Homo-oligomer: A and B are copies of this chain.
């Protein structure tokens, strides 16, 4: 069964939408945030906690990391990533394009693909569109991403254009290779192409039209949240949403803060992923319904109120700010788990509230008030 998307409600005052994605591993209510499980684990969180506390509907894995460790042979023997990590809901895998450009020790971009050295042991590898499709076949995610070039955020027009042309040729090779191979685990995998084009409107528009012409089950916007001003990110996101099909889910890759997510929902984005809730959580930065907390701050030392009373999750009520601060100060691993859970619970709560507000027809006013509230530094 291929992925399908049904639109349930479109906001009158914005481009926000509420919908439902159906995959072989179940349904996803949109807008949705996808916790990042880079190497087969959402860091510091158990799968039980992802199901029961976070109520994650889909998680993300990363082709580059999974290819290096545990490797394709192990994943294949395990029946794919679902079996390997024992996760029965939908999974999306990033193509590794972004990682080979940002993580690998050295890399050489050719028409054929990208030659790179592993950040772990310096070993040499080639990622081509075909290779990346084969790897993603073995990982077995429900949604798989096209292999794209990710040019630096500050690229000149000509570099950006040449890069986009390469990404488009690679997209065709991804599609061709995927069409000539079969899924390995008995269910369909769905390729999402990625829009590139940096901050150049004509390139973004061209990319959207090219991507749209492929009639993929969903489409992604890449190359944002890489250092550009927020206003530029919103402007390009709005432009891409306008030119991407309305009847397919739109996935904005790697974005972002809670208020970035609210704003981009209002622009028509349906799917998000970001390492921010887990990474910032491990550094002691908490996102709460009242604003942002640096839990290491001395001011929380004797604050015995719950971490976040505004969330329905047990973890947010069970532990106090004073206790969580103590765990961070004492270097206790439990602190990393609680902070990661708080932030993931918050992100999942935020998108589910957004969805309710869209359906109620009150999204825009709610978003504006919520944005002020969430940005506060407590």
* Residue contact A302 to B333, C-beta cutoff 8 Å: no
Assess the B326–A69 pair: CB atoms within 8 A. Answer: yes
Is there contact, CB below 8 Å, between B78 and A304? yes
* Contact present for A334 and B48 (CB under 8 Å): no
Check A318/B86 contact, CB under 8 A, given A43-B334, A46-B338, A337-B46: yes
Are B302 and A47 within 8 A (Cβ)?
no
Min C-beta distance of A135 to chain B, whole Å:
16
A264 to B78, CA, bound (A): 42
Residue numbers in B under 8 Å from A318 (CB-CB): 47-48, 86
Specify which chain B residues have a CB less than 8 angstroms from the CB of A330 in the assembled complex: 39-41, 65, 69-70
**Which residue of B has the minimal Cβ distance to A331?**
B39
**A212 adjacent to chain B (CB < 8 Å):** no
- Asked if B48 and A332 make an inter-chain contact with CB atoms under 8 angstroms apart, the answer reads no
Copies in the complex: 2
Please, what's the 1-or-0 string for A104-148, where 1 marks a CB less than 8 Å from any CB in chain B?
A: 000000000000000000000000000000000000000000000
Contact A304 B43 (CB under 8 A): no
Within the complex, the shortest CB–CB distance from A220 to chain B, in Å, comes to 26
Interface residues of A in 332-376 (CB under 8 A from B): 332-338
**Which residues of the partner chain B approach A42 to less than 8 Å between Cβ atoms?**
334
A302 & B77 in contact (Cβ 8 Å cutoff): yes
Instruction: Tell me the dominant secondary structure on chain A's binding face.
Output: helix
Of all chain B residues, the one with the shortest Cβ separation from A317 is: B86
Instruction: Assess whether A3 is interfacial by the CB under 8 Å rule.
Output: no
Fill in one digit per residue for A1-43: 1 if any B CB lies within 8 Å of its CB, else 0.
Answer: 0000000000000000000000000000000000000011111
- Whether the pair A326, B48 counts as a contact (CB closer than 8 A) is no
For A43, A83, A337, the residue with the greatest tally of chain B CB atoms inside 10 Å of its CB is A337
User: In the bound complex, what is the Cα–Cα distance between A329 and B315 (angstroms)?
Assistant: 29
**Bound-complex Cα distance A70 to B83 (A):** 42
Chain A: residues with CB nearer than 8 A to chain B? 39-48, 65, 69-70, 73-74, 77-78, 83-86, 301-302, 304, 314-315, 318-320, 322-323, 326-327, 329-330, 332-338
Known: A65-B330, A337-B337. 18 other contacts (CB 8 A): A39-B326, A39-B330, A40-B327, A41-B327, A41-B333, A42-B334, A44-B333, A44-B337, A46-B337, A47-B318, A69-B330, A73-B302, A74-B301, A74-B322, A85-B323, A86-B318, A86-B319, A333-B336
